[in-house]
Amino acid sequence: MIALLVWAVLVEPGRVVAREVRVPIARWPDGLRPPRIAAIADVHAGAPHMTLDAIGGTVATVNAARPDLIVLLGERDPRPRHEHPAGALPRAARDLAADGGTMTR
């Protein structure tokens, strides 16, 4: 049980897993490269283990893959708005770069 607690508190929160998955697309035109899509999930911006530098490392990993599209999935902010450093995730993610362009909100 202690090993699980150590893993859950000290190891897992700082892990970044980059995985390439090829998804077959029915009737995709021959000779046309399929899109490269990067998905970033469970950022938990503002949590004690997720500093702006840590998010910056994730941004660098994603940019190195040269995606056409980047999607940010759930659990971006673990705390209520009033406790979150204003704009922490947008500031850290401003350097995300997709070949097809980027849009931030």
What is the pLDDT, as a whole number, of residue 82?
42
What is the pLDDT, as a whole number, of residue 103?
61
24 close to 62: Cβ distance less than 8 angstroms: no
pLDDT tens-digit profile of 54-73?
A: 888 888 999 999 999 988 88
Alpha-carbon torsion 20, 23, 24, 29, what sign?
Answer: negative
Alpha-carbon torsion 60, 62, 64, 68, what sign?
Answer: negative
When pLDDT is cut at 50, 70 and 90, the band that residue 78 belongs to is low
Q: What is the CA radius of gyration of the chain?
A: 16
What is the pLDDT, as a whole number, of residue 43?
76
When pLDDT is cut at 50, 70 and 90, the band that residue 97 belongs to is confident
Give the separation between CA 35 and CA 87, rounded to whole angstroms.
Answer: 30
Cβ atoms within 10 Å, residue 77: 16
Tokens coding 11: 């190891």
pLDDT tens-digit profile of 12-55?
A: 777 778 889 999 999 999 999 999 999 888 777 767 777 778 88
